Amino acid sequence: MKRLAWATVPLALGSALAAGGPDTGSTAWMLASTALVLLMTPALAFFYGGLVGQKNVLNTMMMSFAVLAFGGVAWVLLGYSLAFAPGTAYIGGLAYALAHGFMEKGKLLVDGGLPVIVNLGFQGTFAIITAALISGALVGRMRFSAWLVFSTLWILFVYAPIAHWVWGGGLLSKALDFAGGTVVHINAATAGLVGALVLGARREFGRVAFLPHNIPFVLLGAGLLWFGWFGFNAGSALAANESAALAFVNTMFAPAMTAVVWILLDYLKNGKATAVGAATAVVVGLVAITPAAGWVGPLGALWIGALAAFPSYYFLLVRPKLGLDDSLDVFGAHGLGGITGAILTGVFAAAAWNGGTAGGLEGNWAQVGYQVLAVLVVMAYSAVGTLVLLFVTRAFVPLRVAGRDEAVGLDAALHGEEAYPTTEGAILVAEEGGAA
Amino acid sequence: MKRLAWATVPLALGSALAAGGPDTGSTAWMLASTALVLLMTPALAFFYGGLVGQKNVLNTMMMSFAVLAFGGVAWVLLGYSLAFAPGTAYIGGLAYALAHGFMEKGKLLVDGGLPVIVNLGFQGTFAIITAALISGALVGRMRFSAWLVFSTLWILFVYAPIAHWVWGGGLLSKALDFAGGTVVHINAATAGLVGALVLGARREFGRVAFLPHNIPFVLLGAGLLWFGWFGFNAGSALAANESAALAFVNTMFAPAMTAVVWILLDYLKNGKATAVGAATAVVVGLVAITPAAGWVGPLGALWIGALAAFPSYYFLLVRPKLGLDDSLDVFGAHGLGGITGAILTGVFAAAAWNGGTAGGLEGNWAQVGYQVLAVLVVMAYSAVGTLVLLFVTRAFVPLRVAGRDEAVGLDAALHGEEAYPTTEGAILVAEEGGAA
Amino acid sequence: MKRLAWATVPLALGSALAAGGPDTGSTAWMLASTALVLLMTPALAFFYGGLVGQKNVLNTMMMSFAVLAFGGVAWVLLGYSLAFAPGTAYIGGLAYALAHGFMEKGKLLVDGGLPVIVNLGFQGTFAIITAALISGALVGRMRFSAWLVFSTLWILFVYAPIAHWVWGGGLLSKALDFAGGTVVHINAATAGLVGALVLGARREFGRVAFLPHNIPFVLLGAGLLWFGWFGFNAGSALAANESAALAFVNTMFAPAMTAVVWILLDYLKNGKATAVGAATAVVVGLVAITPAAGWVGPLGALWIGALAAFPSYYFLLVRPKLGLDDSLDVFGAHGLGGITGAILTGVFAAAAWNGGTAGGLEGNWAQVGYQVLAVLVVMAYSAVGTLVLLFVTRAFVPLRVAGRDEAVGLDAALHGEEAYPTTEGAILVAEEGGAA
Amino acid sequence: MKLIVAIVRPEKLNDVLEALFKAEVRGLTITRVLGHGGGTERVETYRGTTVKMGLYDKVKLEIGVSEPFVKPTIEAILSSARTGEVGDGKIFVLPVEKVIRIRTGEEDEAAVTPVKPGGE
Amino acid sequence: MKLIVAIVRPEKLNDVLEALFKAEVRGLTITRVLGHGGGTERVETYRGTTVKMGLYDKVKLEIGVSEPFVKPTIEAILSSARTGEVGDGKIFVLPVEKVIRIRTGEEDEAAVTPVKPGGE
Amino acid sequence: MKLIVAIVRPEKLNDVLEALFKAEVRGLTITRVLGHGGGTERVETYRGTTVKMGLYDKVKLEIGVSEPFVKPTIEAILSSARTGEVGDGKIFVLPVEKVIRIRTGEEDEAAVTPVKPGGE
Ligand SMILES: Nc1ncnc2c1ncn2[C@@H]1O[C@H](COP(=O)(O)OP(=O)(O)O)[C@@H](O)[C@H]1O
Ligand SMILES: Nc1ncnc2c1ncn2[C@@H]1O[C@H](COP(=O)(O)OP(=O)(O)O)[C@@H](O)[C@H]1O
Ligand SMILES: Nc1ncnc2c1ncn2[C@@H]1O[C@H](COP(=O)(O)OP(=O)(O)O)[C@@H](O)[C@H]1O
């Protein structure tokens, strides 16, 4: 929805512009937002890294950092073009590949008040975090080289097309998705689910308790994710305007509400408010408000935040009992949170707040239908695309590590490092081989 | 002072505005500032969480995160209105409750160049961090459910009225408080002091050494707090203008000076510059410059930074000997730092730098009187209000945990988690109860 | 180059300005950028702090934090003036010392759309991070008091003059250095190399394996450095304009490319992609793109990122075998990365992207000559200046700690603290001395 | 009275605890240790520093038992801790002169006989 | 020569150290351990994973003493480590064949007789 | 069979391991411990809290050996762990009644005789 605005909607906003120059205020906000969204991937590395056991910390974190590297390069070379260049309704063309399309008459192109090249960066951070999110379903058993291949292909052939449908002028432009509830969260969660099923559970699943090794890291990740999410949601207004302000405020209060409900559910169940639960709730709330951020008012945001707690809370409790090793609950948090948010966006969209688009509560129940349709289409394509890419990857390199490596831990086995090395018994190896 | 500006002072600044549209530059800065201040609460969780022992890490961090949740929701529903809606000199009205008051004629209201709804978020981050600050005085013994009730009530009935007096057009509008020295820091520190006295000391206080468990976390917290404080202080200019720039620069150099003095004092005392000391000094300097940030010049800021080191440094040394279990020295750091800063704002305010308001050194000693008065009024109200709310809370739930829980640690006892779980001896519990 | 623009180039950009008022959009971006660059120093503390052993964590982190304090104060009092006040071709004058020069007719001066005092802060963050970078070469054996003296003098007498030559209108204005490749990185790396040679290796060097104690901290540092570097590079446009946008995007994709190449080199060598390697690669890529950020297009940035991996990768492998205890490879990462970047800026500068300045590939090979010259001049001055200041420092305080302190660890020996204290056997000392 | 000291793989600890529980052994003390044995070494690389890690994470159990429990305890450990690969660990049986339960001052047999739950 | 091995509550360690100091016992070695005994278990929940934690933090002291010190050492521990609740720990007395002080090579009695401070 | 328990400085561990390797001692178990001895204390200050740290990081080695290895093992440790300053540590020699290799069930001598590498 919104990214269409990029090329076609005139700047309805304040600042008088000298002919051709960017709106410095909106440019400032979009640069800040891009930095914020980029930070979300290291933040995710900590959120996920804290949740795994000590022998898989670095591997888990590297799955995110690697997407910053490989995914970033793939994006600038090809992905951006497949998503945003003029093309068919199904996929963009190649006009923007290799960083073309940002200049005109020897000057950087400005459109909608922004240097167009900002979009390359801003959209790139979305592609990166989306692929990184998938890794939470696969930790502890996936071969790192397979992840490099798969995640890069996935950005090009699953993420980019879906982004094109929703934001690039494609198929799904009737669904409301302010900042990427379907494109990012439902998409990543579906891919994670499929990946977890294809890979199979970790060998010790169900026999050994997988406990987080560092919950402060989980809280650090959640805090930094929240911080970065302001760029994600309020930056999706593509300007420093009223819509950005509304999206910002909703991004602040909706997850607060989710955490309130989650803590109360925890009290009801165990009499204990867990920290892992609170961190999870913040993420679920952020996911749920993502499609709605600029479409609903603050009270609508509180409702979405509150309602989003329930499906995720209960699914997380039963998930391990289903035998499903979606290791860090990508589907429970991002999938269910995203679906709840996408549908409720259709319910709570408030014409007064967003400048004209009504939702179900204001009589436009058809919108809920568009929302459900978008969810189903994205899930279907994501599932099939992920499956195909996993098989393609497997043609080159096995997806899973050897059983022995899984037992030793992926940090030592795949990266030749430990997260917290100790010097005891570490014997320096001289060049010749030397030593005992 | 400043928040008054919100509604009444015309934009004296650069950017020419299209009728009714926001100033995109100032909006960009306020959005960024709000994100920065929000980050301060997770940052505080790390500052505090690193300072406690290993058995209370999560509880300490959750005391901050819980305010983001419960305090945030309370703010949007009621607190903002009590602070900023038109009302009496003592408290605001209900006009802005439930997120009313941000729209006009079906459009988001713009005032002073900003979408007014930004204020709901920006001010909310202040309310949240203020309540979270109190927790440092109470860690290691307070029941978490009591904290949820108390901190939420406190935002509504202690924080909101004081914010109203100082910024909402109320009682204390003659005192200079650029970004919340009295409203935030003196207020929180007084509440912490009262809370520590009412709760009483931890059982092991004075017998066992309470040592920080992770000093890098303390430094991380201090670093992120400093980062966020630029939004806190320079954002309090409510525009991207000269005043914001001055407040920013002062926020950078005053705490630097405090840390210089603190490190030298450490050298004089022990011959050793402590890291906990340096982190504390940065926070004390940030607190002290908060009320002064836009009122004084850079040299005044250095003086305030330098002078603020002394009372806090020496009070922190004697505090444990007073038998006062203000566990993480909220009063020593935020109270004394805040009082020093508030008074010195009256001394160093420089008409040339701030556009007209002179301080004591320029002959206007009366200003110092207003500053002292504001400090006393805020401390008195905060103390009484906190006391009342603690008793109200106690009517529903005991304030302290059982002695056994205090010994085991609040993470396991109240949250059913450990900060750094180990898998050894962790036996998976099946649904039926099963296992040994 | 760019900082010259500060005073002399008219604002060629968008936003129509009321006479004398700042451009709020560019001001917003420069405030945000300054906060981002300030955060880089705590980020560096974590990058470095994670790389050292457990007994030197706090000392390593404090070397960075101390520069924020002492270096910051020295900057506002004198350093800024030596760098930016009108003076000779060699060094600036004293006109801006003690925070003079920011006001005119009782108002804060605005120039180039920005309140000039922003420059005091923005440039200060560069001075601070530069000095802090040096510490990586010296950890584990330098007396902390000597570091305080040396690093402060170094900012005044090595950093400030070089900043003057390149940005203050001095000697080296023909070299392209968008954001400080020579001034910051080559300068710091040369100083580190000289410092490591003068101090000599740690006593256990070559006999004991020095392993990082916490690799997640290294990744956290790298993530926050990347985040902050957007302010460093895109902020160096001194406006929220097309140049900032280009610099931003290059800062996002160049280090991604470096990490891709580095990971592939790791696979070639060991079959294992190391996390420490990936974090290092990101920093190397950021260093290399720093001088080029606003001068090259995105494909040029990818080339620079890719090529920068090689010298650093191989130098890091052989460095320990050279007997050179540049403990955390400041020269390998910042020196070689900086030199590669500086020279390649001359090669890849693209007139179309930067508005007129061609590089070698567009026929202007002379530019490469200017680049090499600037590198050599900066290295020569930095080496000599550092040497002199180390000897000056040694006249007051020995540079190295006692052997016993080195063995015990600098945290306990110099700071009287441990990074992760344990309560076992910690006996409270009463005022009188008391206890067993 | 004997002190049975067993070094086992950490991933086998839960199995061992369960086997001991079934053998009615209640009291024991566990320590995280590093073992060095006949196994091969692991190479790790941190920038230019390459190290051989010759030590492996192990868990040590110390179990004070009275004579009749010595054999069942050893058998429980042997059966539950074995994988058959190098690195399974060792059991040492040490003589003990006296055991005292701190809470009650009870000695020897009485000291290692479990009490009814309800405490900690 | 005997080796006295005592397992005590971590929160009692300082009291025990003080009591040992008063009993003129100087040298000892301390290890963080996990104890399993007659006490009840703690339940922890991490998302959908619920675990019983049957192990508690304890501290182990190892004290090499000559015969005349055996009794005073045990008494010092018993009096200072006791709370009366389940989980107070155990003391084991093990026979030792030889003790050597690495610094000097002194053996047995001489090896465990403290020196004048001044070193470490 | 004997169990040799040695407490040494952590910074000497690699030297000790090398010396033991040369003495053909293969199996051993290492624990991080805290030692209290005749040495002086360290003062640390955290805000207003000043503490004496009377415990120092040490490493404990436990080595099960058959009789002929007792002397060479002790000598290897003595020669490699000594600095001559207070705090070098102690060696205890404890009698062992039985040693069992978990992997094979081999007992005593056989249990402590190293196997050919190839495993872990
Ligand atoms: N002689 C010994 N003394 C003390 N501990 C030993 C001894 N031999 C082996 N261990 C411990 O047992 C573990 C397994 O021994 P190892 O020799 O690797 O395998 P295995 O017992 O299967 O041959 C070692 O890691 C070490 O902790
Ligand atoms: N038989 C034993 N062998 C070794 N350690 C034991 C034994 N019994 C108890 N312990 C240790 O002593 C601690 C306290 O014992 P427990 O049985 O819980 O309480 P109590 O001794 O008060 O009955 C345990 O946590 C464990 O560390
Ligand atoms: N009697 C003892 N029992 C157990 N461990 C001891 C004993 N005496 C010393 N140790 C251990 O040996 C270490 C060194 O002993 P210490 O007395 O400090 O030095 P030295 O042995 O050189 O005189 C101590 O830190 C402690 O771990």
* Residue pLDDT, tens place only, E81-106: 999 989 999 999 999 999 999 999 99
Q: Around F3, how many Cα atoms within 13 Å sit in the side-chain half-sphere?
A: 27
pLDDT of residue B18: 43
Radius of gyration over alpha carbons of chain B, in Å?
22
Which residue, judged by its Cα, is nearest atom 8 of ligand 3? E27
Which atom of ligand 2 is the closest one to the Cα of E88?
A: 22
Give E93 Cα–ligand 2 centroid separation in angstroms: 15
The answer to whether C299 faces chain A, any CB pair under 8 Å, is yes
Would you state the pLDDT for residue B1?
A: 36
ipTM reported for the complex, 2 dp: 0.95
Mutate to test the pocket of ligand 1, among D4, D5, D7 (most ligand atoms within 8 A of CB): D7
Asked if A419 lies within 8 A of C14 by C-beta distance, the reply is no
The per-residue pLDDT for range E9-29, each reduced to its tens digit, is: 988 998 999 999 999 998 999
Q: Which residue of C has its CA nearest to E32?
A: C424
Domain contains F39: yes
CA of E83 vs chain F CAs: smallest distance (Å): 24
CB nearest to F18's CB, from A424, A426, A436:
A436
- Over residues D55-114, the pLDDT tens digits come to 888 999 999 999 999 999 999 999 999 999 899 999 999 999 999 999 999 997 888 876
- Token pair, residue E48, equals 């959908």
Q: Does some domain include residue E120?
A: no
Q: How far out from the chain centre does Cα A30 lie? A: 18
Do C232 and C185 contact (CB within 8 A), yes or no? no
Q: Is residue F120 part of a domain?
A: no
For C196-233, the pLDDT digits (tens) are 999 999 999 998 899 999 999 999 999 999 999 999 99
pLDDT per residue as tens, chain B (436 positions):
344 334 333 333 333 344 468 999 999 999 999 999 999 999 999 999 999 999 999 999 999 999 999 999 999 999 999 999 999 989 999 999 999 999 988 899 999 999 999 999 999 999 999 999 999 999 999 999 999 999 999 999 999 999 999 987 767 888 999 999 999 999 999 999 999 999 999 999 998 899 999 999 999 999 999 999 999 999 999 999 999 999 999 999 999 999 999 999 999 999 999 999 999 999 999 999 999 999 999 999 999 999 999 999 999 999 999 999 999 999 999 999 999 999 999 999 999 999 999 999 999 999 999 999 999 999 999 999 999 999 999 999 999 999 999 998 999 999 999 999 988 878 888 654 333 3
In a domain, C172, yes or no: yes
The CATH number of the domain holding residue A127 is 1.10.3430.10
Predicted pLDDT at B2: 42
**Tokens encoding B62:** 């959750």
pLDDT value at A435 more than 60? no
Please report residues of E whose CB lies closer than 8 A to that of D100.
74, 78, 90-91
Cα dihedral B264, C67, C31, B304 in deg (nearest 10)? 10
For F54-99, the pLDDT digits (tens) are 888 899 999 999 999 999 999 999 999 999 989 999 999 999 999 9
Instruction: State which residue of chain D sits closest to F98, comparing Cα positions.
Output: D93
- Using a 6 Å cutoff on CB, does residue E35 contact ligand 2? yes
3-state secondary structure of D44: strand
Q: Closest by alpha carbon to F62, among E9, E114, D89?
A: D89
From chain A, the residues in CB contact with F17 under 8 A are 425, 427, 436
Ligand 3 neighbours, Cβ below 6 Å, are E 27-29, 62-64, 101, 103, 112, 115; F 7, 35-39, 56, 58, 86-90
Which pLDDT does position E116 carry in this prediction? 53
Q: What residues in A contact C286, CB-CB < 8 Å?
A: none
The answer to the question of residue D119 being in a domain is: no
Closest C-alpha among C385, C390, C415, C387 to residue C400: C390
pTM, to two decimals: 0.95
Mean pLDDT for A285-293 is 98
Residue F113: band (very low, low, confident or very high) from pLDDT cuts 50, 70, 90: confident
C317 part of contact set with chain D, CB < 8 Å: yes
Determine the distance separating the centroid of ligand 1 and the alpha carbon of D8, expressed in angstroms: 9
Residue B169: the pLDDT is 73
Give CA–CA dist B271/C401, Å, rounded: 14
Residue to mutate, E36, E61, E92, ligand 2, most ligand atoms under 8 Å from C-beta = E36
Cross-chain Cβ contact C407/F49 below 8 Å: no
Between residues 100 and 159 of chain A, which touch chain C (CB distance below 8 Å)?
102-103, 106-108, 110, 113-115, 117-118, 120-121, 124-125, 144-145, 148
- C208/A428 Cβ within 8 A: yes
Mean pLDDT of C164-176: 84
Q: Is residue B304 assigned to a domain?
A: yes
List the domain range (segments joined by +) for residue A298.
Answer: 24-400
C-alpha F79 to ligand 3 mean position (Å): 17
How confident is the model at residue A3, as a pLDDT? 47
Residues near B430 by beta carbon (within 8 Å), at least 6 away in sequence: none
Give the number of whichever ligand sits closest to the CA of residue D105: 2
Dihedral sign computed on CA atoms, order F45, F48, F52, F58: negative
- Asked if C317 reaches chain B (Cβ–Cβ under 8 Å), the answer is no
> Cβ contact (<8 Å) for B428 and E49?
yes
Q: What is the per-residue pLDDT across C222-270, written as a single tens digit (0 to 9) for each?
A: 999 999 999 999 999 999 999 999 999 999 999 999 999 999 999 999 9
| C1 occurs within a structural domain | no
Kindly report the number of other CB atoms within 10 A of residue C267's CB atom.
Answer: 14
Beta carbons of E31 and F6 less than 8 Å apart: no
What does the pLDDT average to over A79-103? 95
Domain range spanning residue E62? 2-111
What is the predicted pLDDT for the residue at B426?
A: 86
Overall domain count for chain F:
1
* Structure-token pair, residue B27: 């909006």
Nearest CB to E47: which of A272, A280, A321? A280
> Within an 8 Å CB–CB cutoff, is residue C322 touching chain A?
no
- The pLDDT assigned to B418 comes to 96
pLDDT of residue D116: 53
Mutation choice for ligand 3 from F5, F7, F11, F16, CB with most ligand atoms inside 8 A:
F7
Contacts of C17 (CB under 8 A, 6+ apart): B14, B15, B16, C11, C23, C113
Q: Is residue F105, in this structure, part of any structural domain at all?
A: yes
Task: Please say if the pLDDT value at position A236 is more than 80.
Answer: yes
Look at residue E78 in the predicted model and tell me its pLDDT: 97
CA-nearest residue for atom 7, ligand 2, is D27
Neighbours of chain C (3+ CB pairs under 8 A): A, B, D, E, F
Specify the residue with its C-alpha closest to ligand 1, atom 27.
D35
Both tokens assigned to D79: 């059966």
Question: Does residue B39 lie in a domain region?
Answer: yes
Q: How many angstroms separate the CA atoms of C111 and C131, rounded? A: 28
Measured between CB atoms, which of D10, D18, D32 is closest to B436? D18
Find the CATH number of the domain harbouring E60: 3.30.70.120
| pLDDT at residue B20 in the model | 64
Residue C430, pLDDT > 90, answer no
In B335-400, beta strands by DSSP E: none
When scoring A17, A60, A68 by the number of chain C Cβ atoms within 10 A, the one with the most, hence best to mutate, is A68
Interface touch F112/D90, C-beta < 8 Å: yes
Cα-to-centroid distance, D113 and ligand 2 (Å): 10
Q: What percent of chain C has pLDDT over 90?
A: 88
Q: Is the dihedral of CA E2, E3, E8, E14 positive or negative?
A: positive
Q: How many domains is chain B partitioned into structurally?
A: 1
Q: What is the structure's pLDDT at E112? A: 81
- Whether ligand 2 lies within 6 angstroms of the CB of E86 is answered as yes
Please name the member of C25, C222, C256 whose beta carbon is closest to the beta carbon of A28.
C25
Q: How far is CA C1 from CA C183, C211, D55, in A?
A: 11, 40, 55
Please report which helix (H) or strand (E) contains residue F92, including its range: strand F90-95
What is the number of other CB atoms lying within 10 angstroms of the CB of residue B337? 32
- Give yes or no for a contact between C216 and C50, defined as CB atoms under 8 angstroms apart: yes
Q: Is residue D120 part of a domain?
A: no
Whether D101 is in the pocket of ligand 2, judged by its Cβ within 6 Å, is yes
pLDDT of B198 reads: 98
In a domain, F117, yes or no: no
